[in-house]
Amino acid sequence: MTSVSTHILDTTAGRPAEGVTVELSVRAAHDAPWTAHGAGTTDADGRCKDLPALPADTTHVRLRFEVEAYLAAAQRDSAQRNTEQPGDSGVFFPEVATVFAVRPGEHHHVPLLLNPFGYSVYRGS
């Protein structure tokens, strides 16, 4: 079974990012179309524990993190609000998407380190 897990750490606040929606898409070849495969929401520990196992023919995975609402709330809470346009959340990265290759039978843990003006992803363990 090939599987994917993730978690998000807010590196500005020094704590997990709770309540972020994570969408999982898969494809069976480099030039194949993406297929939505699952979604979940990060828990109080910043972990998204309900992503489904991947189809057997999966070669690439895309995780899309909807971080805008989380970052906007964090900005309001810390009173570090920048000047914004009407209807604009003031968030520089409204979403983060990462694509990676998978190997059959392996578990792939891909954490997101997040702050208002940058992010990093890596293959964890």
Q: What is the CATH number of the domain that holds 80?
A: 2.60.40.180
User: Structural domain of residue 12, as residue ranges?
Assistant: 3-121
What average pLDDT does the segment 27-52 reach?
A: 96
How many structural domains is the chain composed of? 1
pLDDT at 97: 98
Q: What is the mean pLDDT of residues 25-53?
A: 97
The string of DSSP codes covering 59-108 is -EEEEEEE-HHHHHHHHHHHT-PPP--TT----S-S-EEEEEE--TT-EE
* Confidence at residue 71, expressed as pLDDT on a 0 to 100 scale: 94
CB-CB neighbours of 106 under 10 Å: 10
Tens-place pLDDT, residues 71-115:
999 887 665 445 555 456 678 999 999 999 999 999 999 999 999
Contact 16, 8 (CB under 8 A): yes
The stretch 34-55 carries a mean pLDDT of 97
Q: Position of tokens 């939505």?
A: 36
Whole-number pLDDT of residue 78 = 63
What percent of the chain lies above the pLDDT cut of 70? 90
